[in-house]
C-alpha cells in the first residue's frame, strides 16, 4: 500500500473540515443554522402579519371616530 503525499493529506483534511462545516450549517434534519434562520423568519413574518392586522383595525377605529366627530360638529 502506498503512502499519501502531502497534497493528498491536505485535500483529505480540507474535505473533513468542509464536511463538519456543512453539517453545522445544515444540521441533521432537526437543527443547523439554516433551520434556525427559517424558524426566525417564520416568527418574524407572524409578527409582521400581526402588526399589519393591528394597524388595519386601528385605522378602522380612527375612521369611525373621525366620522363621529364630523357628524357631531355638523349638528
| End-to-end Cα spacing for the chain | 103
Q: What tens digit of pLDDT does each residue of 22-61 get?
A: 887 776 666 677 788 889 999 999 999 999 999 999 999 9
Higher pLDDT, 12 or 32: 12
Phi then psi for residue 30, to 5 deg, are -115, -15
User: Is the overall model pTM greater than 0.85, yes or no?
Assistant: no
The mean per-residue pLDDT over the stretch 6-20 comes to: 91
pLDDT greater than 80 at residue 9: yes
- Which SS3 state, helix, strand or coil, does residue 59 take? helix
Amino acid at each position: 500500500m502506498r503512502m499519501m503525499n502531502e497534497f493528498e493529506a491536505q485535500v483529505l483534511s480540507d474535505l473533513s473540515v468542509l464536511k463538519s462545516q456543512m453539517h453545522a450549517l445544515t444540521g441533521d434534519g432537526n437543527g443547523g443554522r439554516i433551520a434556525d434562520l427559517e424558524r426566525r423568519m417564520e416568527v418574524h413574518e407572524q409578527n409582521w402579519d400581526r402588526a399589519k392586522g393591528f394597524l388595519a383595525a386601528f385605522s378602522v377605529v380612527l375612521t369611525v371616530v373621525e366620522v363621529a366627530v364630523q357628524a357631531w360638529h355638523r349638528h
